[in-house]
């Protein structure tokens, strides 16, 4: 098994899985029916992408491992998602701030992943990029609506952006497995995306009449498997059925 490629795939896929789980928690709790359905559909888009990644990872792992094994039967430290996507749904402003800050990064990643030398990753990126483009448009529109809306909506979304900002720098950390895959022309060097990312994010925040946070110190650790307290509770829900009824199948 190519362990570096396996780890690189999980580093991408785990972000989509955990964010999909967070959005899935909102099903039936959206502020309007249309928004509720839109968030659920975004969750399903992310799960679809996750399945493609995990199926590829399972194939690499061998030993009859399945996508479900990878999704449900790892311990917390084995998940390599960034801290941003595991943050809770405190209120709608937090949901949109988290989504927007991730979507800008995700779309940039998918655009560049299409240039990978790995044909499977290229196929996943080409299939998913239309979905991710919509996700970014949806979250960007909501950030603008909230920021340039009422005094209350502006205050809440600004508070959410400020709270989520400390997790953004980790998006551009490059792990050891990533470095190997970058040298082989398979992985995207996300560190090169950082400057453009913050330019894009800042441009939209200014359009939304929001302040761009000024922060010199950032929180990180998710890519190394060191998560916030929220992750354990999230996994307890995510893994419940497989842990309670081992080897269960539909």
CB 181 within 8 A of CB 5: yes
Note down the domain range covering 226: 1-244
CB 206 within 8 A of CB 148: no
The answer as to whether 9 is a domain residue is yes
The answer as to whether 221 is a domain residue is yes
Enter the pTM of the model.
0.95
Nearest to 116 by CA among 44, 200, 53: 53
The answer as to whether 249 is a domain residue is no
Q: How far is residue 19's CA from residue 85's CA, in Å, rounded to a whole number?
A: 5
CATH number, position 197? 1.20.1260.10
User: Considering its fold, how many domains does the chain have in total?
Assistant: 1
pLDDT tens, N- to C-terminus, the chain (250 residues)? 689 999 999 999 999 999 999 999 999 888 888 899 999 999 999 999 999 999 999 999 988 899 999 999 999 999 999 999 999 999 999 999 999 999 999 999 999 999 999 999 999 999 999 999 999 999 999 999 999 999 999 999 999 999 999 999 999 999 999 999 999 999 999 999 999 999 999 999 999 999 999 988 899 999 999 999 999 999 999 999 988 888 777 6
59 φ, ψ (degrees, to nearest 5): -65, -40
The answer as to whether 250 is a domain residue is no
């Amino acid at each position: 098994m190519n362990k570096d490629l396996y780890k690189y795939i999980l580093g991408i896929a785990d972000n989509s899985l955990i964010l999909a789980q967070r959005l899935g928690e909102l099903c039936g709790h959206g502020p309007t029916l249309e928004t509720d359905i839109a968030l659920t559909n975004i969750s399903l888009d992310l799960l679809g992408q996750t399945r493609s990644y995990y199926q590829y990872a399972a194939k690499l792992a061998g030993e009859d491992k399945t996508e479900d094994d990878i999704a449900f039967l790892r311990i917390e430290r084995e998940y390599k998602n960034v801290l941003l996507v595991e943050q809770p749904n405190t209120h709608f402003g937090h949901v949109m701030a988290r989504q927007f800050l991730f979507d800008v990064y995700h779309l940039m990643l998918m655009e560049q992943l299409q240039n990978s030398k790995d044909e499977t990753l290229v196929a996943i990126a080409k299939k998913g990029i239309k979905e991710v483009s919509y996700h970014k448009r949806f979250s960007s529109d909501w950030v603008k609506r909230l920021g340039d809306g009422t005094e209350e909506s502006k205050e809440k979304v600004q508070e959410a952006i400020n709270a989520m900002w400390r997790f953004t720098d980790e998006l551009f950390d490059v792990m050891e497995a990533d470095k190997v895959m970058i040298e082989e022309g398979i992985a995207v060097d996300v560190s090169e995306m950082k400057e453009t990312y913050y330019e894009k994010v800042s441009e939209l925040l200014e359009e939304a009449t929001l302040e761009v946070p000024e922060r010199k110190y950032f929180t990180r650790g998710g890519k190394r498997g060191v998560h916030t307290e929220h992750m354990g509770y999230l996994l307890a829900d995510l893994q419940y059925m497989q842990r309670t009824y081992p080897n269960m199948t539909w």
